[in-house]
Amino acid sequence: MQQFPFIQLPEYFTTMLKSNMQSKGMVYYHFIQNNPDLFQLSQNFLKIEKKPGQMFSDALKSMGWSLFRDQLAHVLLHFNLYGEYPMASVQNCRLSQDLAEFEHASSDYATGGYSRAYLLAFYLKMIDYLAKRERREVVEEYSSLVDQSLIDLLSFSQIRITKVDWVLLILAHFDHYLQRDYLATLLEKKTRFSEIYNDLSKEQKNQMMSNLITYGYAISEVDMFSTIFV
């Protein structure tokens, strides 16, 4: 397991990805209008179809949350990879396409309305790009830490999971430290995460907690890691 590098993702984006966009109180286009940096970024780089005489807010509303999210993720990934924003407005979402696929793969286990799995995939890809830009040697890409077989371990949960990103990240560490079959057996027995964590070595615990803190910092949710093993 590799140590996660420090990075802080744009808070305006992580806030939206952590929020329930099916809730009437969290309408993405109102959030954009109230965030000047995000509003400017949207106008400059996103492909938003605006009819003659149509207000920008109405065009955003017609665009839909998923397409807006995918285009914005593409722009932010492009900036992190190349050090600059795209020269023209987004024509496709090639850099973020796999994030939507990752979210779809975990959709049977996650609470609807949230983009938490998408957030985790976005974070892992951002630190992949950060490593490439800094030309750091990595054993494997961070985005490969969570694969379909690991996602399938969520089937042992009897409820849909809201903060599925944290659960998948914890499972990725357990999976690295323990054998997959052994981990699956523990989950099938409904073993608490705190019990599995206590079986790790001191070095493994330290690395795992360090990575969880780093992730929490990146998504502006530093209080989560301290309660997940309770």
Please provide residue 64's backbone torsions phi and psi, each rounded to the nearest 5 degrees: 90, 145
Same domain, yes or no: 44 and 111:
yes
Residue ending a domain, among 87, 121, 155, is 121
Indicate whether 158 pLDDT > 60: yes
CA distance linking residue 79 with residue 75, whole number of Å: 6
Q: Which residue has the tokens 């285009």?
A: 71
Residue ending a domain, among 60, 88, 121, is 121
Residue 16 in any domain: the answer is yes
Please tell me whether residue 161 adopts helix, strand or coil conformation. Answer: strand
Mean pLDDT in residue range 6-17 = 93
Residue 140 in any domain: the answer is no
160-180 per-position pLDDT tens digit? 999 999 999 999 999 999 989
86-106 per-position pLDDT tens digit? 876 666 788 899 999 999 999
For residue 184, give its domain range.
Answer: 145-230
Same domain, yes or no: 164 and 196:
yes
Same domain, yes or no: 33 and 78:
yes
21-59 per-position pLDDT tens digit? 876 556 777 788 888 888 888 888 887 776 776 777 777
Same domain, yes or no: 177 and 218:
yes
Average pLDDT over all residues of the chain: 87
The count of structural domains within the chain is 2
Query: Any long-range contacts for 180-187 (C-beta under 8 Å, 24+ apart)?
Result: 180/149, 183/153, 184/153, 184/156, 187/153, 187/156
Residue 163 in any domain: the answer is yes
